[in-house]
Amino acid sequence: MTSGTGTIRVLIADDQQMVRQGFTVLLNTKPDIDVIGQAVDGRDAIAQVGELMPDVVLMDIRMPVLGGIEATRRIAEEYPGVRVLVLTTFDLDEYVYDALRAGASGFLLKDASADQLAEAVRIVAAGDALLAPGVTRRLIAEFARLDGSFRAPLKQRVGELTGRETEVLALIAQGLSNAEIAEGLVVAEQTVKTHVGRILVKLGLRDRTQAAVFAYECGLVRPGGR
């Protein structure tokens, strides 16, 4: 999702002024990205999302007044068209897991380069999933520890999918792009896009990141493969 001009509108939420200004300078050098606002905490971020309707929110995890995870949850519920990219210096399991379950579309560490940051914004704005490789490994381990009883209700929902849709869902969770899935299944990329769209609708999910979360939570994908 982008504005009518094709420019990605970004809101930066971080309690540190130097971080906000630094990200603003970095992103505003990109012709296709426009930082339209800065928020000092989670509550401020929610208010500015309602006023400015950005395409992407860069959300810090730890902030006063209202933290990034709860702010992400509220934005996902109230403004489903807005994507949240979580940025943090902490790559602990609990933050990754909670942020994604709250509705974040991506997760990136703050030490990412300017180009990596800009590309991350583009990826989540396009509706794709984004997880830093190191974070992905820890995320998979976290899902592997989930109680089996938690998975049971979710497994029933997988039954709503066709066999091919279930296969595509598993491949999404393994981090494959539409092009890679198409190549592996020997089908057109547009066919994969159609499957992905149907998966999201049937399971009531926002985007590919939430689809990946669902696949791990229901046990469809496990560490080391299906």
Query: What backbone phi and psi angles, to 5 degrees, belong to 159?
Result: -60, -15
3-state secondary structure of 56: strand
> What is the C-alpha separation between 77 and 50, in angstroms, rounded?
12
> What is the C-alpha separation between 195 and 80, in angstroms, rounded?
21
Domains and their CATH numbers in the chain: 8-141 (3.40.50.2300), 146-217 (1.10.10.10)
> What is the C-alpha separation between 87 and 22, in angstroms, rounded?
13
pLDDT band at 151 (very low <50, low <70, confident <90, very high): low
Average pLDDT over the chain reads 84
> What is the C-alpha separation between 157 and 85, in angstroms, rounded?
27
Report pTM.
0.76
pLDDT value, residue 225: 47
164 vs 223, higher pLDDT: 164
C-alpha count within 13 angstroms, C-beta hemisphere, residue 34: 13
Across the range 196-217, mean pLDDT stands at 86
